[in-house]
Amino acid sequence: MVGMATRIRHRAITAAVLAVVGALSLGGCTGQGAGTASTAAGASSGSAAPTPVGSRVRVPCDTLVPAAAFGVYGKTFTPRPDATPKKGTTAAAIVEQRGVACIWEDRADDITVTVAVASLPAANLTRLKDTLFEDSHSVPTYTVEGYFLTRGGVGRADAFVDPYWVNVTSTMFGEPGDAQPVVDAARAALGPSDRATSGTD
């Protein structure tokens, strides 16, 4: 029962976050304000695709998370070229918002780590943070506003380096500290050094 409750909770969080992103996309397309989850669902069923509200993120995967960040796991991770996040996932929604998604894999143990980053307006970030605050677990050790949840053996970490939203998932992550090296690397890459850039096109 506990496992089922956790899976339901994780699905609810993912659906809520995707609904927020979709609703804000619809607002960008029509000029109306951000809608509810039902509004977001309507956006996906319409004939015209909603216009993304995110700015394009331009950051190479090896800059976002350098190879050295994976050393702590005692595994050999290599970037998966031209990787596409699975449809319906948070990472896929981030890509639709002109974000970037990177996937690393350890083939020996069949483990992947997915890191996705979006650059969003302040109002959008606030709604996302509110959703995660209500339904996930806050993680102060990420040093920025961050959250963590596990579902069916998959750990999900979200961190906000405004204006960036970082989403990290892997079966390696059973608790917040497991994701810390990857979150820290992404946070450093997206920080004041401006090694990552974003634009409106």
DSSP secondary structure string, 64-121? HS-GGGGGGGTS--EE-TT--PPTTSHHHHHHHTT-EEEEEEETTTTEEEEEEEEE--
| pLDDT, tens digit, 9 for 90 and up, residues 9-34 | 545 555 555 555 555 443 333 222 22
Q: Which one of 51-65, 127-141, 163-177 scores highest in mean pLDDT? A: 163-177
- How many CB atoms within 10 Å of residue 198? 21
Whether the Cβ atoms of residue 92 and residue 60 lie closer than 8 Å to each other: no
What are the distances in angstroms from CA 94 to CA 55, 100, 184, 196? 11, 7, 19, 16
- The rounded distance, in Å, linking the Cα atoms of 100 and 122 is 19
Pairing of strands 56-58, 164-170: unpaired
| pLDDT, tens digit, 9 for 90 and up, residues 68-122 | 999 999 999 999 987 789 888 899 999 999 999 999 999 999 999 999 999 999 9
User: What 8-state DSSP symbol labels residue 175?
Assistant: S
Whether the Cβ atoms of residue 53 and residue 63 lie closer than 8 Å to each other: no
Average pLDDT of the residues in 33-60: 57
Average pLDDT of the residues in 155-166: 95
